[in-house]
Amino acid sequence: MGWKWFEITDYKASAGSRQGDYYGGLQLYGQGFYAMLTFAKDGELPHATAPTTYGQRFYAFLDFQQMPIMVDLLRNEKPIRFGWDEQEPNRFHLMTGMEKVGEGDGMLAREVV
């Protein structure tokens, strides 16, 4: 037991409300893996669920203010992985691969001399 990591290959983002109980969602997909991250505007957040027996499925709940950060990572970084602690599912991360310091975003990040 410990941390499990999966490479994310695709994702879906949504925003809206289902009778006011959520405001946004991210569905993460990978080889033999699925995660649903639900973002709430306010109120107490439920605990994350442990993976089900039907493949590696993970469901977690976060504050809505965290959604733009995660969407930005998904849109701009590759490779990107998702992992959780099997012993404590409320500990989970979205993580990029190793990058050089100052790598920037291409042409917009060129050094000005």
Q: Do residues 40 and 15 touch, judged by C-beta distance below 8 A?
A: no
HSE (CB half, 13 Å, CA atoms) of 50?
Answer: 6
Pairwise CA distance, residues 23 & 85, whole Å: 26
What are the boundaries of each domain within the chain? Answer: 3-99
Q: What tens-digit pLDDT sequence spans the chain (113 residues)?
A: 688 899 999 999 998 876 666 689 999 999 988 999 988 876 665 655 655 545 578 888 888 888 999 999 999 999 999 988 878 878 888 999 888 887 776 655 555 55
Nearest to 60 by CA among 84, 77, 79, 30: 84
Alpha helices in 30-109 (DSSP H): 67-76
